[in-house]
A and B are shown apart, each in its own frame.
Chain A
Amino acid sequence: MTAEHAAAAEQPKKRVKHEGPKKHIIAYIFSLVLTILAFAVVVTGEVRASFVYAMLVLMACVQVFIQMAFWMHMKDRGHTFPIIGILSGVVIVFTMIIMAVYWTWW
């Protein structure tokens, strides 16, 4: 309680630097480029399907990483437990995808 009071009292004196929109717009452009690339690979590509699949998943993962790091502030301090929560979810989803691909039909 006391620490919070102190922090609140200091606020008006200290000039807080608000982050600008710049890096978020850059993240947007990156996402846009990755999306266009993904569509382009499918529309124009005459390459092997497995290669296209790998490219699509890779680009989706990169795009999601950028969005989560910047837009959802996961790169900022104090996000240890959010990262643990999301990553454990991802590990379980990964095993489920393996299940769906390899162990459903035989």
Chain B
Amino acid sequence: MSGHSHAEGVLPHEPEKATLEGRNKVLGFWLFLGGETVLFGTLFSVFIALRDQVNGGPTANELFSLPVVAAATLILLTSSLTSVFAIQAMHRNQTKATVNWLVVTVLLGLAFLGLEIYEFVEYAHHGHTFAASAFSTSFYSLVGFHGGHVAFGILWISLLIWQVLRRGITLHTAPKVYVAGLYWHFIDVVWVFIFSVVYLMGKVG
């Protein structure tokens, strides 16, 4: 039932779902993402309720610069695709390609994070600090929670890269990589709503 009941060296087609432990992990993570949906949904609804309350500070329209947001969006979207390639390489049992695609994903994630930090520092210079207004507090909470998820994902996937390098793709490492891939896609999905609702709608209003 567990890992070692399979012959050495032969991995099933989808190694992440070959063991009960793996299937449990994938399903449990999906359900966790259901909870994360509510978590971000609550943050979104709070932001929507408070986004016009600028308290005399800069409005969303004055503040946001779309080129930076577009660049961040492109980076994160591409990183989601590279994590798909990593999983596909894992299914083909190509350790090296898996690691390479994961490294690309992490690098793109770091670029995104750097861009976000740059953006936040810029906003703070314009008086848009965390404690400035209800708008700023809810903005930093929503986008910051997402950024925190990106940072956690970078640490997590880096740790997994190290494990795959040491142990190769096994029935134990495969579910971990697959689940981290799901997590990374979810981060991108949340970002789609962030750039639509926070940034683009902010530019319209």
- Are A and B in direct contact (Cβ within 8 Å)? yes
A residues neighboring B (CB under 8 Å): 1, 4-5, 7-9, 11-12, 16, 18-19, 21, 24-25, 28, 31-32, 35, 38-39, 41-43, 45, 49, 52-53, 56-57, 59-60, 63-64, 67-68, 71-72, 78-79, 81-82, 85-86, 88-90, 92-93, 96-97, 99-101, 104-105
Bound together, the chains give a CA A92 to CA B45 distance in angstroms of: 11
B152 within 8 A of A: no
Chain A residues contacting B19 (CB-CB under 8 Å) are 4
Please determine whether B45 and A89 come into contact, CB atoms closer than 8 angstroms: no
Please determine whether B204 and A4 come into contact, CB atoms closer than 8 angstroms: no
Please determine whether A93 and B77 come into contact, CB atoms closer than 8 angstroms: no
- Interface residue count for B (Cβ, 8 Å)? 56
A16-B13, A63-B192 known; A92 and B41 CB under 8 Å?
A: yes
Bound together, the chains give a CA A25 to CA B78 distance in angstroms of: 10
Q: List 27 A-B pairs, Cβ < 8 Å.
A: A4-B1, A4-B19, A7-B12, A18-B13, A31-B192, A32-B74, A35-B70, A35-B192, A38-B196, A39-B200, A42-B66, A43-B66, A53-B201, A56-B196, A57-B196, A57-B197, A68-B185, A68-B189, A82-B31, A82-B33, A89-B34, A89-B35, A93-B37, A97-B44, A97-B48, A100-B49, A101-B49
